[in-house]
């Protein structure tokens, strides 16, 4: 920290988590090696393993009473002190190239925030051709989803009032306000998410379910009802994935 220029852009990463011990075990050591101002994990799990992973990586862990991604990200943003916030999912990759892209983009003071393109991978081998379509839609006004590592200047996030107080679809609601509030930019390299959940639950099942939730929300379904359905369906599956992790194996 002491050798960095005083005007160096300070980037804070906020990671909302819930039963993400395996993902945090992989993500946090990588984040610890990046040029970040701070790492903030807002965890709604009920065990101490996430705390151990955060301590090993030098991250700040904030406990949260229940899984609610928007509220968790707001809580993390409240404690952040960086110039730019990145809201990053626990199962996604973040590299130095992503940080350099943000630094370059925000050299333009007109840019208030943005997101990264998505990386389609071998979980969906027959859908890879859709990547170009997804890029086109994102570049031309499409929604910034949570797994695109949305970034925003901290003061602008405060001015927007943060994420809406809804338990699900907070990314879609926030994206609409962010795009309307100033100049935004979509960046490369694309962000790639882990395939663990897709492999565990089935790639097609997960993709269809996610699309169905988006359609229901756009048709007027209550985010509160969607939240109950989403977490009721995911709780058992996530618990099976994370039960046996031991933080001590990642300390070396």
Assess contact for 150 and 69: CB atoms under 8 A.
Answer: no
Angle between helices 203-218 and 223-242 (to 10 degrees): 160
Residue (of 156, 162, 154, 159) closest to 183 by Cα position: 156
Residue (of 238, 105, 107, 221) closest to 172 by Cα position: 221
Residue 12's pLDDT is 98
Residue 47's pLDDT is 79
CATH code of domain 11-250: 3.90.550.10
Q: Is 192 exposed, middle or buried (0-12, 13-18, 19+ CB in 10 A)?
A: middle
Residue 3's pLDDT is 53
Residue 123's pLDDT is 58
CA distance 212 to 234: 15
Mean pLDDT by 10 residues, the chain (252 residues): 67 95 94 98 88 93 92 98 97 96 98 93 63 87 94 98 91 96 97 61 60 69 70 52 38 39
Q: Where are the domains of the chain?
A: 11-250
Residue 227's pLDDT is 64
């Amino acid at each position: 920290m002491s050798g960095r220029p005083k005007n160096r852009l300070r980037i804070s990463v906020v990671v909302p988590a819930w039963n993400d011990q395996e993902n945090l075990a992989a993500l946090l050591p990588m984040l610890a090696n990046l040029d970040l101002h701070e790492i903030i994990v807002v965890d709604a799990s009920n065990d101490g393993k996430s705390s151990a992973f955060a301590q090993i990586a030098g991250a700040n862990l904030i406990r949260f009473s229940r899984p609610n991604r928007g509220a968790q990200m707001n809580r993390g943003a409240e404690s952040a002190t960086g110039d730019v916030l990145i809201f990053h999912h626990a199962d996604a990759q973040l590299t130095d190239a992503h940080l350099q892209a943000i630094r370059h983009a925000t050299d333009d003071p007109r840019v208030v925030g943005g997101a990264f393109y998505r990386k389609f991978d071998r979980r969906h081998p027959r859908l890879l051709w859709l990547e170009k379509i997804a890029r086109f839609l994102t570049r031309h006004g499409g929604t910034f989803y949570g797994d695109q590592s949305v970034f925003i200047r901290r003061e602008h996030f405060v001015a927007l009032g943060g994420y809406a107080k809804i338990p699900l679809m907070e990314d879609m609601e926030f994206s609409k306000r962010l795009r309307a509030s100033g100049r935004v930019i979509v960046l490369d390299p694309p962000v790639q998410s882990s395939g663990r959940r897709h492999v565990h639950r089935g790639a097609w099942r997960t993709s269809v379910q996610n699309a169905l939730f988006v359609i229901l929300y756009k048709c007027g379904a209550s985010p509160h009802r969607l939240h109950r359905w989403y977490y009721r369906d995911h709780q058992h599956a996530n618990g099976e994935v994370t039960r046996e992790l031991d933080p001590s194996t990642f300390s070396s």
